[in-house]
Every structure is written in structure tokens, then in C-alpha cells.
Chains A and B, each alone.
Chain A
């Protein structure tokens, strides 16, 4: 009764095609955004629970936002366009290290040509976006084979990217500015004169990035390009016969996806970690992102958020609950339990609901539309 479309008539196609056509959904979103943009900073400023300490902001909300952004990128490639990728960690790394080099000044001496390419350190915002662009370029390169190589074989190709870039950022010291320990520090985060340092400032920065990108991504998948991606995913031969060019569709998917993942990588390194090593972007990260997308829902922007939240919160729950209940488990056992639960969940979701929690939520909404009537 509360959640009903009755009485909400759409008189234009524009209204019908809006992201949230149902008024109740719009209100829910408004409340969520209100909490995110206004509520959280307020509570944090006054140290009100649950923001009494930095922990929630620093260790949960911040990684949640950035990983959700990366998951949106992965979802575009895997969920909407159907190209499986096990190399998303590498693209985060490309974004991070490119942004780092651009933010600290690039100096390529081409002695054999007689001059050097020298770029002074760029403003942080520009470095991050250009880092994403670098990732997009590499993404396009790795997308080119996707015409000939499909499905599983493509997964192997993306693994090749993952391992290759793992090695590049480890061995080619130019990327780490020849740091002896192999780990690097982010440049200071100056955005238009404002310095971003405290957890709440970092949170707001990421919130803005994520919101903007989520809207842009949602627009893309709702439009013609999104339909082209889904057509390629569902039946690429038929897609070609109605005039969709597979190369264009796949390459744009790779490009957009890698751009978003690259930006997320730069944010992860600059804003969340502060200082990092190549290990932060290993295959574990790629698998983690893939899990987020599967659990949250393939082919759903909202699913990326749900999946990210789930994957971040579960380990924390697993850590806290046994001790709360008085059953002490070693950290090792907890890790193993995590593995088992994640694995089982993946299998369960794939069997029961391949579209993940996002679909379960939509189904829930369907039920809610009828509530309290049974049918």
C-alpha cells in the first residue's frame, strides 16, 4: 500500500524513461543522498555515534565508495557487455601509477632523439582523470583481441594483462620514481586550493566522484550504447545483423570500463591508502571486484554498490560476531571461514539468482508493490 505505482501516470516518454520512475523510489534515493551528503558529515563533525571515531569513515565508508566505483566499471564490461575480465586489478594499478607519475612530474629523456619529454607535476584532479584515461587506452588495446577471442579465452587474455602489469609496476622502477622500497606515497591532495586531509574530507571527495560517475554510467547503460553492449552480450551474431558493430561496442565497453576502474585505482591509492605497493592491485583484487559484481548483480549499477557493501562488511562481521558471542576463533580460521562463505554464496547466487542481490531487491520491490495484498 505504501509502495504503489497507482496514480502515478507518465505523460511523456521522458518521464517514463527516468532512472527512478516511481515516486517512492525517488524519495528513498533523496533520503539516501541526504544522509550521505549531509547527515554523515554532520554526525562526524560532532562525533556522534556511529561516527564517534574515525573508524567507520576511514575503514569502511571510504573503501566502500571507491570499490563500488571500481565495481561499476567492472560491471559495465562483465555484466552489461558480457566480456569476462580477470584483470581489473591491473587496470586499477595503471590508473594509480599513471596518476602518480603525472602528479609528480614526468621526465622521459630521449637522448637518442636529442630532447626530453618533460611534464611538470599536474594538479591532482587532472592526474587522476588522466590516470583513468591511461587505463582506458590500455583497456582498448586489450579489447582489440576480444573480437577473435571470446568467453573463457578472453578471461585468459585478461589474466595475461594482470600478471604482466603486476610485473611492470614491480620491476620497472621508473614508475615508482626509483623508490628503493618499491612503495610510493601519494602527492598532497590539493583540489582547487582546498587541501583534502581529514577522513571526512576524503569521504566527501570520493562521494562526489562516485555520485558523478554513477550518474554518467547509468545514463550510458540506459541509452543506445548500453543496449548495444547488452545485445553483444546476449547474442553477438544477431547484434551484428541489426547493424551493431561488435568492435565498436566491445572497445567502448573496454574503454569506459577501464577508465572508471583506472580512476577508482587512482582514488584508492591517493585518497584511501596514501602510500601503496603493487600488491594492492594483484589478482586478489581482480577476483574481489568480480565477486562484488556477481553478488551484487550483473548488469546493474545499483548492484555494484550492494556487492561492494557486502564484500566489505562480511569480514568485519566475521571478525566481530564470534568474539561477541564468546566463541574465540583464530584469525586463520576466520579467513578460511570467509573463503567458504564467499565461495558458497557465489555458487548459491549463481544457482538461484544469477542477477545477484540487485535482482532480489527488485523482486522484493515487486512484492512490496502488492503488499499487504498477496497478489
Chain B
């Protein structure tokens, strides 16, 4: 993939370390994500990739290190700060609201953008109704984009896995994020579904200009989609660069083949 036009840094993590009891999930990891790029984070199982996303999100708090987002540096992120600041996320095991329909799930993603308070909503008249309709418009655009019109009103628990992942992506998109964190968006999909999802990810990046950080195991996808790749193994960053550079890196090959080191 050609590199994005700007080299402005959107998010940077420096020296982040995270340990759970005796388990060291992350050890002194540093890398940056440039605005407008698609950044892949790869590595064998247990490398600490999801933990890294959780730290960026504010779900885990690192023991050491700093996170700089949009120019502000802090020792840890709070979930509310992250979502307010424009970070959205999907999860490995789909974290949709099972009791609601697809449409409602995506509408829930508009929460931060909705202004009208309790009393207006109760009356559902004038401004409150107008706001609901305006956000419905935006959500319908996303539904259109993700080609899930037919399943709008279906309770998500009844949807097949691939469609659930799409709805989850839609919910993240509804937040109009600056940074989108995708945790294994292609997991469990067949070839056709992967092509669809890849197409969506590229479109989101091109069309909305959203910066994307994604964790993925399918190497072909990673090499095709991403501008730059960071490789983690046992909590340590072992490579960082363009897909071509990383592909040829011996340490990376060793890590994946399981060579003892």
C-alpha cells in the first residue's frame, strides 16, 4: 500500500510496560501511529497485542510508560477520555449489545454526539425528535456503506458471526472516530467475508480518512492492507516498518516459526 500523505503522529506509546501479577504482558513497548495510516500490530499468540489495544483504550492501565494522543501526553488513559477523544474499537469476541437490534446497536454509538437531555427525550417533540432523526440519517449512511440494510431490525444475537462483526464495525464508525482500533476483524471469516471486510477497512481509511490500528493474524491481509507494521513477541517489540521490511526480518520469521531465543 502506498504511504499516507502526512507524517503527523496521531498516537504514540513510549516505554509501556504492563504486568498482571507475575505475567508480563508488555515490556517497554514503543511505537507510533501516523495520522491517516493503517497500522498493523502482529505477532504470535500471547504476544500482548490485545493488551496493547486495551492500554490505548484505557481499559488497562500500564505500570510504566506514557501515551501521547493528539498532542497530550499522559501516564494512562481512561475509557471515557479515549472515547471522547475519538478512539473507537472492536473486539475479538464480538462485544455487541445482545438484547438490541443491529440498528439500535449502531445508534448507541451516536451517544456521544447526542445533546438533548432527559426531559426533551421524554417528550420526544421538536428538538429531541429532530436530533433522533438526524442521527438516524447518519447511521443509515453507515448501514448503507456496510451493506447491512436487510438486517437492521434483527436482534444481533440472531445474526451470523460475520454479520455481527460488521455491525460492531458500524457501531465503532458511528462514533466518527479519529482512531479506529480493530482487534482481529477477520477472525473466523471465510475468504469472501474477508474480502468484504478488507474492502470496508480500506474504504473507511480512504473515504473517512480514519486512522486505523489493527491486529490480525492473516498475513496476506496484513501485507495488503497496512502501511506500516509493528511486530510483538512475548510482550516485546521485535520489528517495526513497512510490510516488505517486516516480511524479510529474521527475528520476525524466527518468532513465527517458534525458534527458541
A residues with a Cβ closer than 8 A to B are 12-14, 17, 216, 219-220, 222-225, 227-228, 230-231, 233-235, 237-245, 252, 256, 299
Q: Return chain B residues, CB-CB under 8 Å to A12.
A: 133
- Kindly identify which residue among A219, A243, A299 contacts B83, using a CB–CB cutoff of 8 Å: A243
Q: Return chain B residues, CB-CB under 8 Å to A235.
A: 95-98
> 11 interchain pairs (CB within 8 A)?
A17-B132, A219-B123, A224-B114, A227-B100, A230-B100, A230-B104, A231-B108, A233-B97, A234-B99, A237-B59, A241-B82
Query: 8 tightest CB-CB pairs across the interface, nearest first?
Result: A234-B97, A243-B112, A243-B83, A219-B124, A238-B95, A223-B121, A13-B136, A227-B108
Give the total number of A-B pairs whose CB atoms are below 8 A apart: 97
- Kindly identify which residue among A222, A238, A239, A245 contacts B124, using a CB–CB cutoff of 8 Å: A222
- B80 on interface, CB distance cutoff 8 Å: yes
- Kindly identify which residue among B121, B123, B175 contacts A224, using a CB–CB cutoff of 8 Å: B121
Cβ contact within 8 Å between A243 and B175: yes
* Interface segment, one of B34-42, B84-92, B218-226, B251-259: B84-92
Which positions 147-185 of chain B face chain A at CB distance < 8 Å?
171-172, 175
Q: How far is the CA of A239 from the CA of B137 in the complex (A)?
A: 22
- B57 on interface, CB distance cutoff 8 Å: yes
- Kindly identify which residue among B99, B112, B128, B172 contacts A223, using a CB–CB cutoff of 8 Å: B128
- B118 on interface, CB distance cutoff 8 Å: yes
Known contacts A234-B98, A242-B171, A220 near B111 by CB under 8 Å: no
Q: How far is the CA of A230 from the CA of B104 in the complex (A)?
A: 10
Cβ contact within 8 Å between B124 and A223: yes
- Describe A's contact surface by its main secondary structure: helix
The minimal Cβ–Cβ distance linking B93 to chain A, given in whole angstroms, is: 11
Residue of A nearest to B140 (CB): A13
- B122 on interface, CB distance cutoff 8 Å: yes
Q: Return chain A residues, CB-CB under 8 Å to B123.
A: 216, 219
Q: How far is the CA of A14 from the CA of B57 in the complex (A)?
A: 35
Q: Return chain A residues, CB-CB under 8 Å to B96.
A: 234-235, 238
Interface contacts beyond A219-B121, A227-B111, A240-B83: sample of 7 additional A-B pairs, CB < 8 Å, sorted by A: A12-B133, A222-B124, A224-B107, A233-B97, A234-B100, A235-B95, A244-B108
The minimal Cβ–Cβ distance linking A328 to chain B, given in whole angstroms, is: 46
The minimal Cβ–Cβ distance linking A93 to chain B, given in whole angstroms, is: 25
Known contacts A220-B122, A227-B108, A242-B111, A13 near B133 by CB under 8 Å: yes
Q: How far is the CA of A63 from the CA of B132 in the complex (A)?
A: 36
Which positions 109-136 of chain B face chain A at CB distance < 8 Å?
109-112, 114, 116, 118, 121-124, 128-129, 132-133, 136
Residue of B nearest to A79 (CB): B99
- Kindly identify which residue among A223, A242, A256 contacts B88, using a CB–CB cutoff of 8 Å: A242
